[in-house]
Amino acid sequence: MFDVTEVRVTGLSRESQCTLRFGSGALFAIFMALLAMAAILDYGSAPMAHTHLTYLVTGGAGFIGSNLVHYLFAQRPGSRVVVFDKLTYAGNLDNLEAVASRPEYELVKGDLCDRELVRATLRRVKPDVIFNLAAESHVDRSIDGPSLFMQTNVMGTFEVLDAALSQSRELSNTSKPRFVHVSTDEVFGSLGPTGYFTEESQYRPNSPYSASKAGADHIARAYFHTYGLPVITTNCSNNYGPYQFPEKLIPLVTLNAVEGKPLPVYGDGKNIRDWLWVEDHCAALLLAAERGTPGETYNVGGNSERTNLEVVHTICRVLDELRPKANPHESQITFVKDRPGHDRRYAIDASKITRELGFRPSMTFEAGMRKTVEWYLSHREWCDRITQGTYRRERLGLAG
């Protein structure tokens, strides 16, 4: 007969917390040794506890980053969120106005490529999780000026990874940060009419933007395999929702439509993208941080393939209802010269993140589009402040 004792084991790593039932002292000693070995060899693979953590969000003033900041405060009350952002044309502090006065929020204005500042910030903030979103993100701009994309997306990501590694070397296993590197499905190139991108798909980037993201993904991968930094990479499809800079398709078309301006559709409008409600992307990122396995990559998608023309027609239909006028909004559609090297189709197989982490998009495309159009209509001041700056919704990206 074994005398059974119950022991709560904590502190092997920040993430590990379990209740043991063991028989003899010898069995217990063996078990403890195995757990200690597992903690050394397999640091960071257990799901992390998620109360009162410190999150560092690079690019937190941008579209997805600011949605993530709001999501973290809503879903993980008591957490501290530090935004590290250069505040480029795409970074907008208006996006963070609602949290700006919270004591648990902090903004560090800085460039990912500023090695000393990135390192000093990580040393001071001691994040439990780093979400790396800061990037130059607009394909058209990457065609006109690829250099900045290489600097920010490749070298900037390298600097944050390297800073996280040097910080983690100074820390015990119990306080090393998890690193969620946020990437795109565009690294996989273009699909034909059938098939899906899986985590095993070959990297075939076609634009300077996607090539720079692919470079960053490879560096992130190497930092796990070479140094054991607990990096998790996500490759997501096109996002839509509040706070998106109005150079991107959905806000651009919405704002042009209500102002009676042309609705530009590239080429024949038949390029297909998979669309995901931005808050669902944020949910996937938090799942990846808390339950993802270091060294793994996860594709994230919305199961909502639409041609660009279908997206524009959807916006027009919503506006015909919300802002009716004499001619239907689709009469403003104008076909314009295609983007050089425009990928034809992206489609995501998100079955791995669904199966392993329990991710499921909560929003249908139709409901999400309606909410999005309503948001831009009811946030005209937000839109006007951006367009009164240097950006005037002009056509970019014809340099190729």
Q: Which residues are designated catalytic?
A: 185-186, 209
Work out the number of other CB atoms within 10 angstroms of the CB of residue 166: 12
The yes or no reply on residue 121 touching ligand NAD (CB under 6 A) is no
> From CA 128, how far away is CA 249, in angstroms rounded?
35
Q: Which residue has the tokens 């024949």?
A: 268
- Contact status, residue 13 vs residue 39, Cβ threshold 8 Å: yes
As given in the structure block, the two tokens for residue 291 are 């339950």
The yes or no reply on residue 156 touching ligand NAD (CB under 6 A) is yes
The yes or no reply on residue 135 touching ligand NAD (CB under 6 A) is yes
The yes or no reply on residue 91 touching ligand NAD (CB under 6 A) is yes
Give the x/- contact pattern for ligand NAD in 59-78, rule: CB under 6 A. x-xxxxx-------------
Name the residue nearer to ligand NAD (CB basis): 43 or 266.
Answer: 266
The yes or no reply on residue 142 touching ligand NAD (CB under 6 A) is no
CB of 182 to ligand NAD, least distance (A): 5
CB of 377 to ligand NAD, least distance (A): 20
Q: How far is CA 270 from CA 88, 209, 254, 308, 309, in A?
A: 31, 21, 19, 6, 6
3-class DSSP state of 232: strand
> From CA 112, how far away is CA 379, in angstroms rounded?
30
Give the x/- contact pattern for ligand NAD in 221-240, rule: CB under 6 A. ---------------x-xx-
Compute φ and ψ for 399, nearest 5 degrees: -55, -35
The yes or no reply on residue 157 touching ligand NAD (CB under 6 A) is no
Which residue has the CB atom at the shortest distance from ligand NAD? 62
User: 3-class secondary structure for 328-387?
Assistant: CHHHHEEEECCCCCCCCECCECCHHHHHHHCCCCCCCHHHHHHHHHHHHHHCHHHHHHHH
Name the residue nearer to ligand NAD (CB basis): 238 or 314.
Answer: 238
Within residues 256-295, the interface with ligand NAD by CB under 6 A covers: none
The yes or no reply on residue 161 touching ligand NAD (CB under 6 A) is no
Give the x/- contact pattern for ligand NAD in 26-65, rule: CB under 6 A. --------------------------------xx-xxxxx
Q: Is the dihedral of CA 324, 328, 250, 142 positive or negative?
A: negative
Name the residue nearer to ligand NAD (CB basis): 39 or 68.
Answer: 68
Work out the number of other CB atoms within 10 angstroms of the CB of residue 140: 19
Q: How far is CA 352 from CA 288, 293, 301, 313, 380, in A?
A: 11, 12, 11, 32, 39
Residues that contact ligand NAD, how many (by CB under 6 A): 30
The yes or no reply on residue 245 touching ligand NAD (CB under 6 A) is yes
As given in the structure block, the two tokens for residue 359 are 């991710």
Binding-site member from 13, 16, 142, 152 for ligand NAD (CB under 6 A): 152
Within residues 302-321, the interface with ligand NAD by CB under 6 A covers: none
CB of 148 to ligand NAD, least distance (A): 8
Name the residue nearer to ligand NAD (CB basis): 22 or 240.
Answer: 240
Binding-site member from 12, 69, 90, 154 for ligand NAD (CB under 6 A): 90
> From CA 67, how far away is CA 81, in angstroms rounded?
12
Q: Smallest Cα–Cα separation from 285: which of 75, 18, 143, 35? A: 75
Name the residue nearer to ligand NAD (CB basis): 46 or 386.
Answer: 386
Compute φ and ψ for 177, nearest 5 degrees: -75, 145
Stretch that binds ligand NAD, among 135-143, 168-176, 194-202, 258-266 (CB under 6 A): 135-143
> From CA 351, how far away is CA 336, in angstroms rounded?
36
DSSP string across 260-275: T--EEEETTS--EEEE
Chain contacts with ligand NAD (rule: CB under 6 A): 58-59, 61-65, 85-88, 90-91, 111-113, 133-137, 152, 156, 182, 184, 213, 236, 238-239, 245
